[in-house]
Structure 1
Amino acid sequence: MLAAAVRDRWPPIQIIVVPGKQKPSARDMPDHSVFFPKPYDTRKVTDQLHKMAA
């Protein structure tokens, strides 16, 4: 998974995971990452981006 590769290379980065063909399992999700299923809830995504940028 791309998110895991990014986490390995840049550990402090926070990651938002969005679906491709299927939802990743909990064990496939990198630490400190957030999953947003489709259709996206704009308010939840925006709130999470604000938290990550703080």
Structure 2
Amino acid sequence: MQPSASKRPVVLIVEDEFLVRIGTRAAVEMAGFDVLEAGDADEAIAILAARNDIRLIFTDVHMPGSMDGLKLAHFVRDRWPPVKIVATSGRIRITDGDLPEGGRFLPKPYSAGEITATLRELIQG
């Protein structure tokens, strides 16, 4: 995979539910970011390993596969420390303490405005 040709920050959305993923993608793109998508943690790790321009992952907590979103968040922080992390769930509430330092939790359902504000705060801040 080639790095983004634009100068816009790249966000990797990790979500196993297709309709949720495309809705989130639309909101993130409208907020001014380039977007990549993964359906599970293994796919996300492969994308992260192949690229050096991903600034943030936006991951669902509950996903099938080898690890859930919380484990993915900790794995990403250990392997790619500069990548910012946002986790989301409609099933449980987690605290920022459950995430790696600097990670954020955004409960579902979230609005495009909440996504925009959270991503901009993390990437610009």
Query: Which TM-score band (shorter chain)?
Result: 0.7 to 0.9
Secondary structure of 1:36's counterpart equals strand
Rounded Cα–Cα distance in structure 2 between residues aligned with 1:7 and 1:20: 23
**CA offset digits 1:1-54 (Å, max 9, x no partner):** 211111111111110101164223443211111100011032121112123333
Per mean C-alpha deviation after superposition, the further-off stretch among 32-41 and 17-26 is: 17-26
User: Is it true that 1:4 corresponds to 2:74 in the alignment?
Assistant: yes
Which runs of structure 2 are paired with 1:1-54 in the superposition (5 Å)? 1-19=71-89, 21-54=91-124
Identity of matched residues, %: 37
What's the TM-score once normalised by structure 2's chain length?
A: 0.37
Rounded Cα–Cα distance in structure 1 between residues aligned with 2:104 and 2:96: 10
Paired residue type of 1:23: R
Rounded Cα–Cα distance in structure 2 between residues aligned with 1:10 and 1:3: 10
Paired residue type of 1:31: E
Number of residue pairs matched? 54
Gaps of 5+ in 2: 1-70
- Over the aligned positions, Cα root-mean-square deviation in angstroms equals 1.9
Contact 2:96 2:104 in 1 (8 A): no
Secondary structure of 2:89's counterpart equals coil
Higher RCO (C-alpha under 8 Å, 6+ residues apart): 1
Q: Which has the higher strand share?
A: 2
Contact 2:86 2:104 in 1 (8 A): yes
